[in-house]
Structure 1
């Protein structure tokens, strides 16, 4: 992306937080009455300093990780697996709440202009999440002027609001207007101020989006990403400080029926077209911010699944090249949170700060370790920036955890702990399965396409014959088509031709000509058992491997040669990590070329003891059966490999 497009697309989450961050700060200070509101300016200045420090810290992250460095990657690389999982937990909590908070704040902007919709905010919000789900499952992407327009419209609206307010305030000598009469419900003390600071700091959400998306920029990507990040921080500070200044000068206080931004827009523009434009731009940019989470949440799940810390179904791309399973999980979780908290932004904010600043703290702490280890050019300056960001983020995280514990922060902390427990157990299970499947040198060979018959039970005992290479006298394997090119996107199988029904005319065993097709993902004991079973049928065997890249394909080919290379092998490259669609495409191609063959697809299947472990393993056989059912003369069978806690 060009910087002019990347800025609004990747900054929507951060900039839209101006719609609720200042209001969250004021909602706490107003509990202290007029004296409490007097702290709004110094607390806002502290938040501005925090924005600047964290922004400078992420500039160092972009330089160190030019291919993208989110909190999970940085924390895992430099602090270890458990801190990386904690960062991932914070990020995923953040993304779920980004959807819930953005939708609730967007609904507040709408109901401020249209109060008659106030009773239906929960229903409308759930429908909005459903629309986001449907759009992202269909592959909608944040790119181009369509997605950039709401952010630029919001920036223009806030700048116009602030400029108009400053002009009017200048006419009265910048004398603040009096606030409505306030009744203090709490004493003004350190605890109240710290709670306000933690709530207002939610205006920083989304700052790390640019560091995650460095490869999306035009070359030189990391330099353009740093420039865009600097622009974003400058705009965020300006919009946040301008909004707080207008609140102070106009004497605005939070109200349950109308947002602070709506009140400021009424003060500056009245109820005319500019007011409607401001509210519409606010609602749209918040919707775009919610959609940002749909790009990042599934990718974090993908990284966790790649590292065997989440179910492998999250590695899979859908038909529209979207991580469909992650998108569904995000939508369901966000909808549950939104409904549970009645779509009220104020009640969601305490949960928000904990996840955001946990991820910030671990990411910046990881960068401190990174610079200490590398000690390359300017490492001391970079370490200082990241250490400052880590310290300030830790202060906010601890403050939010303590001061807002009873208001809902306990739920976010509990979610992080539960996430750690689940992902650790998933990793333990995958490690156990990996040990059970591990090949042992000189004990297993790739079998030949045929095997010698077993000796007669009454004959003298002889040593068991070794699997031998195919001899010229063996039954020749049928010709097979070359691997078809990987499709531009995974596609559904085409309908079979009507003439295929005539091919199902074999009524005796002698008329059936076989080909055993064995798809395997890797060389392990389960795949070897499937290959041995296929060879035991004494029919021609073809092995098929689907690989996500040429490098992975070459790695598999080397392993194949190392372990015997006794069967014909075909490799299909599937750059979108889809497995089922390329398999179906290849089988269809094979069937069209050799309709006289009965093709038996033999799949290795991992069988686990506990029911909940089943979701951690592929159910490829069932999906293939459903997809291949329209084709005649296709048999799908599985060879089970049982794995228990103590091994196979």
Structure 2
């Protein structure tokens, strides 16, 4: 069986017209049959009809009523809070609080209770639109990474120039102006990307569509490296801001940083809206704090006719040259990380998504330029240089506000926005993983939506990776910065190059202007990427480049495996097995009845002592009609016991597509389709089996599952272990047997 996949569907495939609106349809878990597979399904159905009893005979043989239990219609659901929270009810009087894979086990119910308390009640699939963000929430959520980089971008720039002494610092303003121009060019470029890809145009989608699969994977590798480092750098910079105000915490930065990542994990598992509301205030507080700092600083500088304060005496340890200036430019460009976040998360905006995303991007670019330029101007006017014990922003706040309440407010806002800026990565990293999994480049577990309509598995992977990187580099921002620029500007370069190809091919209205903007962004991004890769190679950039190469290797191998499995599952003429005898179901005997026979209770029904006393029912869960499922159906029917086929669909559209394929095959066996609107697969299965057991407690129900058996153990990670989950969940129920029909690939 397959779980419901993500909400974005095929957004961004090609340059859709702007007035098409939003796409929020979930991709169907039942694949559409091509002409060859439709013909093969008819052929298999004809062979079944030749050797199998009539469909009515199979239906008459059923010892139970298959039409038992269902989820309520959407109109019948009474929401708990504002139409968003809905208890996940099982079929036919379920155990309270049951969730996917946990019905029937006390430990599972306790885990469900803990998860409900920590993360909140599950949301309906139809709530995905209501979980989208308006602009005032999207701005701090998606811009936190870019805006908070003002706290460490200027410092990274100065940390390189200071190696050239006073002569090196003289280049701080020209380098800052070059970075401001880069921000403007890349920001305008991404406005063109949103216009061309109104359903989400991240680097992976744009590069894949216009440059090919391998450049798209390279762009995805750069993005995912950047997102992991975003979390690590944001947390490390936030801890630097904390220790600047509270030096006594310097020895506990690693532990505190890990705890902060754990809090981010829990907050994002609660869903988009909860994370947005939680993380909006610190971003706005940071904007206010930096704006006040710059305003007070400019006022003070006006009192001395804007004469810069002399910097402390500096001893040059490196000659001032082009290489030094380019290294500072690459380091300072880390202030641009996060610019792509809005174009990649267009589907997360409220309708009209693309228009709201472009507006928010413009706000972000304007704020980023203002804050960065204002901070660099204050650094120049105040003669501030980097220090190991105190950040540059803390020094500026001390000079503008002293050590009073405004200084505390500035440091607190800086620390919070840096610690929470990682939320940008938490919004986009799982989306990129979802797109990779949708294209069979990542395990399909990343297609699943959690209870709170968030890509929970991707969020967990990001948290684990960020903790590993943060701990490995001892929570030091200076050690992480060299890895930072490589991934993000690799993604920028490929994305903007893809947009150049897009406009060149499409050549619609204003295409020359758009091409010029994107070409400028691609050129400047390539300059930063090459500069960072060369000048910072020995400082750690080699690790980022190696990570991209390993990512490319792993994703291509995953795609190769899924292609192999898909080909093996396709129906082929040479794989059709024709039974040598007619398959006729044996009707199941009715349980004894009468006043002299006590009713059979569930808890004492396992009393059979001879084979004649066992009454069988085979239930075959099927997700799609392919080679493995057809073999399982043939196996179940060959036992000549009553058979009931069960399909769990996440939507009516998915159910209809499966029903069409089933009728094309011939409808030879009884079929029951259960619609599960909560993205759950195991819970509806178990609940339905419980309802059958309540009808006939004397039956022994055998659940027969198709199981893909991989050649190598690591391939098991790429497939859902449904049989094991069912066994664990059904262990407490009497007279339930779970078996599998292996299909080797």
Shared fold, TM over 0.5: yes
Query: Which residue of structure 2 lines up, in the alignment, with residue 17 of structure 1?
Result: 149
Using the TM superposition, give the Cα deviation of residue 141 of structure 1 relative to its aligned residue in structure 2, in angstroms.
4.7
Q: 1:438 aligns with which of 570, 576, 586?
A: 570
Task: Name the CA shift for 1:579/1:57 in 2 (closer, same or farther; >3 Å).
Answer: same
Query: Which residue of structure 2 lines up, in the alignment, with residue 586 of structure 1?
Result: 688
Using the TM superposition, give the Cα deviation of residue 441 of structure 1 relative to its aligned residue in structure 2, in angstroms.
4.8
Using the TM superposition, give the Cα deviation of residue 379 of structure 1 relative to its aligned residue in structure 2, in angstroms.
1.7
Supply the RMSD in Å over aligned alpha carbons: 2.2
Equivalent pair of 2:602/2:694 in contact (CA under 8 Å): no
Residues 179-218 of structure 1 deviation map (CA, whole Å, 9 limit, x = unaligned): 1111111111111111111111111111111112222323
Q: Which moved more, 1:502-511 or 1:387-396?
A: 502-511
Using the TM superposition, give the Cα deviation of residue 367 of structure 1 relative to its aligned residue in structure 2, in angstroms.
1.4
For residues 442-453 of structure 1, what are the structure 2 equivalents within 5 Å? 444=576
Q: 1:475 aligns with which of 584, 587, 600?
A: 587
Query: Which residue of structure 1 lines up, in the alignment, with residue 525 of structure 2?
Result: 393
The answer to whether 1:308 aligns with 2:420 is no
Task: Name the CA shift for 1:192/1:370 in 2 (closer, same or farther; >3 Å).
Answer: same
Q: Greater RCO between the two (CA within 8 Å, min separation 6)?
A: 2
The answer to whether 1:90 aligns with 2:222 is yes
Q: 2:282 aligns with which of 150, 172, 183?
A: 150
Measured in 1, the distance between the counterparts of 2:447 and 2:676 equals 13
Residues 501-548 of structure 1 deviation map (CA, whole Å, 9 limit, x = unaligned): 133333333333322111122222111111111111111212222334
For residues 543-622 of structure 1, what are the structure 2 equivalents within 5 Å? 543-574=645-676, 577-622=679-724
The answer to whether 1:526 aligns with 2:658 is no
Task: Name the CA shift for 1:499/1:280 in 2 (closer, same or farther; >3 Å).
Answer: farther
Residues 463-521 of structure 1 deviation map (CA, whole Å, 9 limit, x = unaligned): x3466xx8xx963899xxxxxxxxxxxxxxxxxxx953133333333333322111122
For residues 306-385 of structure 1, what are the structure 2 equivalents within 5 Å? 306-385=438-517
Query: Which residue of structure 2 lines up, in the alignment, with residue 486 of structure 1?
Result: none
Measured in 2, the distance between the counterparts of 1:526 and 1:427 equals 20
Aligned length: 604
Q: Which moved more, 1:626-635 or 1:128-137?
A: 128-137
For residues 54-453 of structure 1, what are the structure 2 equivalents within 5 Å? 54-139=186-271, 141=273, 143=275, 145-441=277-573, 444=576
Query: Which residue of structure 2 lines up, in the alignment, with residue 505 of structure 1?
Result: 607
Measured in 2, the distance between the counterparts of 1:136 and 1:512 equals 50
Task: Name the CA shift for 1:499/1:141 in 2 (closer, same or farther; >3 Å).
Answer: farther
Equivalent pair of 1:316/1:578 in contact (CA under 8 Å): no
Measured in 2, the distance between the counterparts of 1:115 and 1:186 equals 30
Query: Which residue of structure 2 lines up, in the alignment, with residue 488 of structure 1?
Result: none
Paired residue secondary structure (1:68): coil
Measured in 1, the distance between the counterparts of 2:687 and 2:516 equals 55
Residues 393-444 of structure 1 deviation map (CA, whole Å, 9 limit, x = unaligned): 1111111111111110000000000000111111111111222221125864
Equivalent pair of 1:51/1:233 in contact (CA under 8 Å): yes
Using the TM superposition, give the Cα deviation of residue 600 of structure 1 relative to its aligned residue in structure 2, in angstroms.
1.3
Equivalent pair of 2:586/2:641 in contact (CA under 8 Å): no
Using the TM superposition, give the Cα deviation of residue 280 of structure 1 relative to its aligned residue in structure 2, in angstroms.
0.8
Measured in 1, the distance between the counterparts of 2:650 and 2:241 equals 45
Q: Which moved more, 1:38-47 or 1:313-322?
A: 313-322
Using the TM superposition, give the Cα deviation of residue 131 of structure 1 relative to its aligned residue in structure 2, in angstroms.
2.5
Measured in 1, the distance between the counterparts of 2:237 and 2:150 equals 11
Q: Which moved more, 1:143-152 or 1:10-19?
A: 143-152
Residues 115-165 of structure 1 deviation map (CA, whole Å, 9 limit, x = unaligned): 011111112112222222334345475555432111110000000000000
The answer to whether 1:639 aligns with 2:741 is yes
Q: Which moved more, 1:34-43 or 1:135-144?
A: 135-144
Using the TM superposition, give the Cα deviation of residue 229 of structure 1 relative to its aligned residue in structure 2, in angstroms.
0.7
Q: Which moved more, 1:98-107 or 1:115-124?
A: 115-124
Paired residue secondary structure (1:544): strand
Give the TM-score taking structure 2 as reference length.
Answer: 0.78
Measured in 2, the distance between the counterparts of 1:324 and 1:145 equals 19
Query: Which residue of structure 2 lines up, in the alignment, with residue 29 of structure 1?
Result: 161
Using the TM superposition, give the Cα deviation of residue 638 of structure 1 relative to its aligned residue in structure 2, in angstroms.
0.9
Instruction: List gaps (5 residues or longer) in structure 2.
Output: 1-132, 591-599
Q: 2:176 aligns with which of 21, 27, 44?
A: 44
Residues 585-624 of structure 1 deviation map (CA, whole Å, 9 limit, x = unaligned): 3333333344343221111111122122221222111111
Q: Which moved more, 1:333-342 or 1:518-527?
A: 518-527
Equivalent pair of 2:606/2:734 in contact (CA under 8 Å): yes
Give the TM-score taking structure 1 as reference length.
Answer: 0.89
Equivalent pair of 1:317/1:578 in contact (CA under 8 Å): no
Q: 1:539 aligns with which of 641, 651, 660?
A: 641
Query: Which residue of structure 2 lines up, in the alignment, with residue 457 of structure 1?
Result: none
Task: Name the CA shift for 1:324/1:227 in 2 (closer, same or farther; >3 Å).
Answer: closer
Equivalent pair of 2:617/2:700 in contact (CA under 8 Å): yes
Equivalent pair of 1:142/1:292 in contact (CA under 8 Å): no
Measured in 1, the distance between the counterparts of 2:292 and 2:312 equals 25
